Structure 1
Amino acid sequence: MKLHYITRPSSLKENAPLLIMCHGYGSDENDLFSFAQELPEELFIISLRAPYPMQPFGNAWYAINFDAQQNKWNDVEQAIESRDKISNFIDEACATYPVNKENVTLLGFSQGTILSYAVALTYPEKVKNIVALSGYISEDMITNTKNNNYSHLDFYCSHGSVDQVIPVDWARKAPKFLDNQNIKHSYSEFPVGHGVAPQNFYEFRSWLEQRI
């Protein structure tokens, strides 16, 4: 299944840095794309739509199920399928558009962040920078960490300190995980819920500008 997406071309005619956006659960490709006009014009931006339609609207990268005990659990098989779809999409995008395959950034929000972590930590050769907003590392969606070379990766991670959807404690485990793998990263918290505060946006934009 091919992923639907929208693009914003780069000001560069070739070798443009590529930014791929992965939205959150129940949203679509237009959500994060609203950031596009505020991001550096040399970026070639692609915003993906997750493959599983939801009712009455929106999309998911994988199902989140609720059982009788009110516990949520993730459909990890679907998540791994989506992880691999994004990984394959990176290859297709690099073959199709005038971008630099050595300079690929993933930008995720919430469920899109969980998948961005999974792609980067399973297929590190395909990405360079990761902007991980309001998500966490789900280790059951990551394979092959032992043999991977993470030396070039760089993560910007942020979370709302009063997030009512994904507890901030989950996000706080990411720096420790990344430290253990000797992966470059920065981590910030902002006094908001499940969303991106303006100062959060300006901070990750500045982080990105220094790396593209």
Structure 2
Amino acid sequence: MSDLEYLVRQPKKATKNPPLLILLHGYGSNEQDLFSFAEELPDDFLIISAQAPNTLGFGSYAWYAINFDDINGKFSDLKQAKESIDKIAIFIDEIKAKFNTDPNKTFLLGFSQGSILSYSLSFFHPNKVQHVIALSGYINTELLPESISKEIKTDYYCSHGSVDQVLPVEWARKTKPFLDNLGLQNVYSEYPVGHGVAPQNFHSFKKWIEERL
């Protein structure tokens, strides 16, 4: 059992095996955050917004701790991150079974920390999801398996704010060359915003999603 809490938006059109979209929020947020997108996304979807397991207090949660000290500066708790990746993988399987979703149409959308884990999950658990939408994140090379499967068919929508003050755009710019080198389909775009999702960014990834339904 993954024991992650979550919100559900049922498909607006009843279908036997709906496509599944799972939302993973960023550090210090909660499952309500990205769920505000839900009403604007395709009616066919079963949309699940998961809440990270580690509480920061006052309605804030994290998939893994980000620590600060005088010696190392800012660093991520990679052990906790890997535990969350495994929890999310189990959670996806549980949701697929519970709601009888289309096994060939699983979308994973993450923002910031949720985006970092979306990338990592797609490499640790090949083809568990077919499509990754990674907003304002990057591929953390410390959160990758020792060898990456050549059987991965997942494709990626990647976007970042060009003036992101939380995760530098330079980190995100390494994403496309990394995915290209693996022969994985991807698109990468930037928007003139900080650590957030611009309206034109939303319309762009919505169109990308619709083309894959």
Fold shared by both chains (TM-score > 0.5): yes
Cross-structure match for 1:168: 169
Cross-structure match for 2:201: 200
| Aligned positions, number | 211
Q: Partner of 1:147: helix, strand, or coil?
A: coil
Query: Which ranges of 4 or more aligned residues in structure 1 deviate by more than 4 Å?
Result: none
**Alpha carbons 1:13, 1:98 under 8 Å: kept:** no
Q: Partner of 2:133: helix, strand, or coil?
A: strand
Cross-structure match for 2:14: 12
RMSD, matched Cα: 1.2
Q: 2:72, 2:21 → 1: CA distance?
A: 37
Q: What is the CA-CA distance between 1:57 and the residue it aligns to? A: 3.2
Cα distance per residue 1:124-147 (max 9 Å; x no partner): 221100000000001221215433
Cross-structure match for 2:154: 153
Map 1:24-103 onto structure 2 (within 5 A).
24-69=26-71, 71-103=73-105
Q: 1:5, 1:145 → 2: CA distance?
A: 32
Between 194-203 and 4-13, the greater mean CA deviation after superposition: 4-13
* Amino acid of the structure 1 residue aligned with 2:70: A
**Alpha carbons 1:122, 1:148 under 8 Å: kept:** no
Q: 2:41, 2:134 → 1: CA distance?
A: 16
Q: What is the CA-CA distance between 1:24 and the residue it aligns to? A: 0.2
Between 164-173 and 61-70, the greater mean CA deviation after superposition: 61-70
Q: Does 1:106 align with 2:112?
A: no
**Alpha carbons 1:122, 1:144 under 8 Å: kept:** no
Q: Partner of 1:101: helix, strand, or coil?
A: coil
Cross-structure match for 1:140: 142
Cα distance per residue 1:39-96 (max 9 Å; x no partner): 0000110000000000333000000000114711000000000000011111101110
Cα distance per residue 1:94-126 (max 9 Å; x no partner): 110031122100000000000000111111221
Q: 2:142, 2:102 → 1: CA distance?
A: 30
Gaps of 5+ in 2: none
Aligned residues with identical type, % of pairs: 52
**Alpha carbons 2:123, 2:148 under 8 Å: kept:** no
* Amino acid of the structure 2 residue aligned with 1:154: D
* Amino acid of the structure 1 residue aligned with 2:88: I
Between 68-77 and 179-188, the greater mean CA deviation after superposition: 68-77
Q: Partner of 1:126: helix, strand, or coil?
A: coil
Q: What is the CA-CA distance between 1:18 and the residue it aligns to? A: 0.3
Q: Does 1:185 align with 2:153?
A: no
Q: 2:209, 2:35 → 1: CA distance?
A: 16
Q: TM-score, normalised by structure 2?
A: 0.96
Q: TM-score, normalised by structure 1?
A: 0.96
Q: Partner of 2:103: helix, strand, or coil?
A: strand
* Amino acid of the structure 2 residue aligned with 1:166: L
Q: What is the CA-CA distance between 1:148 and the residue it aligns to? A: 4.3
